[in-house]
Structure 1
C-alpha cells in the first residue's frame, strides 16, 4: 500500500493511496519540531540493511501498525524495524543508526548546529 506523510502548518497527516486518490487515514497530529513542511513519500522507503551498516538522517514517523520507523537519509527513505529499538526513537531529530555484525541497533543523537554526535540514546 502506498503511504505518504504530509507536513504543513505545524500538522502532520498520514495518507494512503486508494482508488486512484490520496485519502487521509485519520492521523492528523501536531508535527514534531525539526520536521520541515513537505510531502514525504514513505512508500518509497527501503528496508535497512542490518549487518554492519549505518544510516544518518532525520527520523520522520513511527508506524506502530506496521512496526516500522521511517528515517530520511539524504533524499532517500529508510525503514527500520521498531522492535530493534530499546525505546521509541525521538521523531523530528537527526540521528545516526548503526547496526553491528549481530544486527544489534545503536542510536546516536546528532547535534545539527555543529554536526557532532552528542550521545548514545
Structure 2
C-alpha cells in the first residue's frame, strides 16, 4: 500500500473508500487488516498486541491480538492509546488499564 492508510467499507457488495487517504502510522506493517471482524473484549481478560487503528468518530480503537482483532471503547481505558504501539490492556469490570509493552523484554537471546 506504499505507506498509505485507506479505510474501506462494503456497501451493496461493492467496496467504498471512506474518509481520507493518510500516511500509515509508524510501527504498523503494510497489509490488509480486516478490523470489521473485531470482537468486543471479555471482562477480566488481558489483551496483548498492537494498536492498529483509532476511530475517534466512534470513540473506539482496534487492537491486533495474535491473528484476532479486539475493539475497545476509548472511554473504558485509562491512558491514551497510540496507533502502532504494542500494549497490554487488562480489564477489571467495565474499566481497563493500558500499559506499553517493553519490546526488549520479549526478545530471546541466544548465547554461544
Q: TM-score range by the shorter chain?
A: 0.7 to 0.9
TM-score by length of 1: 0.80
How far apart are the structure 1 equivalents of 2:84 and 2:103? Answer: 12
Q: What CA deviation, in whole Å up to 9, does each residue of 1:31-73 have, x standing for no partner?
A: 1111100100111000111x21110001011112222110000
SS at match of 1:113: helix
Are the equivalent residues in 1 in contact too, given 2:78–2:97 (CA < 8 A)?
no
| TM-score, structure 2 normalization | 0.86
Aligned residue pairs: how many? 107
Match of residue 104, structure 1, among 87, 90, 95: 95
1:113 matched residue in structure 2: 104
The DSSP-based 3-state class of the residue aligned with 1:46 is: coil
- Greater strand percent: which structure? 1
The 8 Å contact of residues 78 and 98 in structure 2, kept in 1 or not, is answered as no
2:110 — aligned with what? none
Larger radius of gyration: 2
Q: RMSD over aligned Cα, in angstroms?
A: 1.6
Q: Which runs of 5+ in 1 are unaligned?
A: 1-7, 117-121
Contact 1:52 1:103 in 2 (8 A): no
The match for 1:37 among 22, 30, 34 is: 30
User: Aligned with 2:104: secondary structure?
Assistant: coil
Alignment of 1:1-121 (within 5 A): 8-49=1-42, 51-100=43-92, 102-115=93-106
Partner in structure 2 of residue 119 of structure 1: none
